[in-house]
Amino acid sequence: MFRKLHLKLTAYMGIILILFMFFVACGIYQFTKIVFEDGNRELMKAEALRIYNYKNAQYAEYFFNGTIFRRFLQRNPLDAKRLDACYIVYDSNLRLIFSDEGDIKVADEIKGLAQKSLEERQDLYTTKKIGSYNYRIYTKYFNDFTGQTVVQVYQNTVNEDILWSFLRNVLIGIGLAGTVILLVLSYFLTGKALTPVKESWMKQKEFVADASHELRTPLTVIQTNLDVVLSDEDGSVEENQIWLDNAYSETRVMAKLIDQLLILAKADNNEGQLSISEFSFSEVVENVCQSMKAIAATKNIELITDIEDNIIIKADYDKMRRLAVILVDNAVKYTEEGRVTVTLKTDKNRKVLIVEDTGIGIHEKDLNRIFDRFYRADKARHREGGTGLGLSIAKWIADKHKYSLTVESIVNAGSKFTLRM
């Protein structure tokens, strides 16, 4: 399932990245071309103006010498040419005033642009394919005391076309290489992104399986005991009391398990909102310990308390009481005999609750998973009748309050749970 999802996400992410790269490359290419064309247009416009000014200078010379056309035709403005281009100058009747050594065929092909410029009295800039080559043509319209004049500047763009073709091929090559790289990168990134999802799904799957198992066990016990009662048609309630007590005991286990499952379900859906109030946590811990002393006494466990007075916290009262109950109950439950010490104190401006026991302890390899749902480190813990959800709930409550809950343990020496608030 996850492999198919991984491949799909890789494809989607790859397509998005490739399209993004494609549009960026096209944007760079088009922007570069537009800037280049605008630059050439301005250069050609400047050249047209230079040629026009040269013509006017020659007319000024005519008024002094009377030999303007002869001298104009003898002098070549290309002597001071600043742009690799050809020039044509027409008068208002489209008579050729000047033409450099450019291709006559090209001049004939673009003459229509000069006529259009005269008719519309505006400048024209365009590209046109003439023969086997593309040309860039700028037609500049002038109108002053000498009359209407059109100056055409045109360039063969063969070298530029080769350059642009090379640039396109380079971008295509980079694009193909980039596609492969992006697909590999997409596969890696989607794999990393799916890792927590996969872990969460596996945990959820394990959670459902464990919950089903935990619910099936008391249901089986209840059914078995009730079957015994039903099979004894002549027996009285008193005679079947032991079977009924067993069934009742298992219903309490189920009720506790379902209650814990609902708490964790709300936690997963982010529905377990906190109801913050200010209260004495010292009183809460003291009351929890008092309620647990009777149970501890039945197991010959000494429950020692060292609770600092009047430790006030702002938290969810019900959830913090549940957390304290879980920690103390867990310590008593997994201590065969010895002592359980509950300490509440202030340490460096932080409130600290420590629940320490001399019980069976936890293997070092199990410490990282001790707060996982339904996780029980060994068979000894399973025999104690726990659901494997208590510490998960305690950890969730601590995290919800942004508190720190940690554990230290040595096998057959005991465990120490520390809550820092």
Predicted local distance difference test score (pLDDT) of residue 68: 43
The Cα 70–Cα 74 span in angstroms is 6
Q: How many CB atoms lie within 10 A of CB 288?
A: 20
Using DSSP's 3-state secondary structure scheme, residue 157 falls into: coil
Predicted local distance difference test score (pLDDT) of residue 129: 87
Predicted local distance difference test score (pLDDT) of residue 82: 57
β-pair type (312-316, 133-144): unpaired
Domains of the chain: 2-156 (3.30.450.20), 165-267 (1.10.287.130), 274-420 (3.30.565.10)
Predicted local distance difference test score (pLDDT) of residue 283: 95
The Cα 34–Cα 36 span in angstroms is 5
Q: What string of pLDDT tens digits covers the 421 residues of the chain?
A: 677 777 777 778 778 878 887 888 888 888 888 888 888 888 888 888 888 887 776 655 554 454 444 444 444 444 445 567 888 888 888 888 877 766 667 888 888 999 999 999 999 999 888 888 888 899 999 988 778 889 988 888 888 888 888 888 888 888 788 888 878 887 888 888 778 777 777 777 766 766 676 667 678 878 888 888 888 777 777 777 888 887 887 787 777 777 777 777 776 666 667 889 999 999 999 999 998 888 888 889 999 999 999 999 999 998 899 899 889 988 998 888 899 999 999 988 899 999 999 988 888 888 888 888 777 665 444 444 556 778 888 898 899 899 999 999 988 889 999 999 8
Is-contact 92 83, C-beta < 8 A? no
At 118, which amino acid appears? L
